Amino acid sequence: MIDGKKVLFSGMQATGNLTLGNYIGALKNWLTLADDYECFYSVVDMHSITVRQDPAELRSRARKLLTLYIAAGLDPKKNCIYYQSHVSGHAELSWILNCFTYMGELNRMTQFKDKSAKHADNINAGLYTYPVLMAADILLYQTDVVPVGKDQLQHLEITRDIAQRFNAIYGDVFTIPEPFIGKTGAKIMSLQDPTKKMSKSDENLNASIYLMDDKDTIIRKFKRAVTDSEGIIAYNDTQAGIHNLIDIYCACTNKTPDEVVKEFEGKGYGDFKLAVGESVADLLTPLQNKFFELEKDKAYIDGIIKENGEKANYYATKTIRKVQKKVGFPERIR
C-alpha cells in the first residue's frame, strides 16, 4: 500500500494502434480508479521487442500511447504514467525472478505457443520468459490488484506462484497480487468476424476501429461491418454481428440493449450501422482533439515523462534494494 491506498498496476504494449475495444474494455474504466487506488500505468515497451520493431516507429508509438493515456482522461498528477524502459528495476527484478521460475511453468504458457506460431522465424528467449518480465512489472510496485481479462489470467497466476515461492524462502518480500474485479466495459468484437475480439494486430483494417480514425473512416468501417440475413435488430447470441453493434452503441450512449432494440424497431441494418458509427465518432472526437492538443505541447509531455518516471523509479528501487539484500547481493556503497 502507498499512503493508505492499495496499489493497482496495468499497462499496454507500444505496438499497433489502440482500438475502440481497448478504450471501452479497459482505458475508459481506469479513469475512476485513482480515488481508491495508487495507480501505475505503464507503456510496456520492453515487452514490445519480443517481436522485431522498427526503432523510430516504436519510439513514436510509445509516446503516442502515453499521450493517449492522458488524452483519455488519466490525470498524470494522480496516476503514475511512465515508460517501462525508463525504470531499470523491471529488467533487474525480471532476471532475479527468472531464477525462481521453473521451466515447466513457462512451458505451459499459452501465449508463447501462440506467438511462436505467428513468428516462427524469431522464437527468442525473451518471448519465452515474457511472463517473468510481466511478473516483475507487477511485483516491483508491491501491487495489490491487477485488472486482467481471461486471456491474461494465466500470467497473473504464475506471478502469484513466483511471489509465493520467493516469500516462502526469504519472508514477506512481495505483496501477492489479486485480480481486479471491478466495472468492466463490454467485450468489443471484430467488425469483420464478430466471433473474435477486436484486435489492434488484426491484418484486416476494416475489422477494428482505431482511436485515431476520423469520422469518415469510422462510418465506412461500420457500413462494412458483418451482420446476417435475419434483417431484425435483436439482442441475442444467434446474431453475433448485431449483438456486437448493440454492445458498442450501448457503450457509447449509456443505453441498455432493450432500449436500443426498441429505438431501432422496424428499421434496417443500414440505419442502425450509421447510428452506431456516428455514436462512436461522437465518443472519440473529444479524445482525439485532446490528443492533438497534447501532442503539440512537447514540453508538457516531456515533463510528465520525467516526473512520472522518477516516481516509478522511487518505488521500484525500494523493492529492488530489498530483493537484492534478500538474495545476497553485496550492498551498494553510496
Residues noted as catalytic: 115, 197, 200
Q: Which DSSP letter does residue 87 get?
A: -
SS3 255: coil
Strand (E) or helix (H) holding 12? strand 6-12
For 290, other C-beta atoms within 10 Å of its C-beta total 16
Radius of gyration from C-alpha coordinates of the chain: 21
Alpha-helix runs per DSSP H in the chain? 20-22, 28-30, 45-48, 55-71, 89-98, 103-107, 110-118, 125-128, 130-139, 153-170, 215-223, 240-253, 257-263, 269-296, 298-327
The 3-state DSSP class for residue 83 equals: strand
- Pairing, β 145-146 against β 178-179: parallel
- Provide CB contacts within 8 A for 5, sequence distance 6+: 36, 37, 38
Task: Report how far residue 224's alpha carbon sits from residue 43's, in angstroms, rounded to the nearest whole number.
Answer: 32
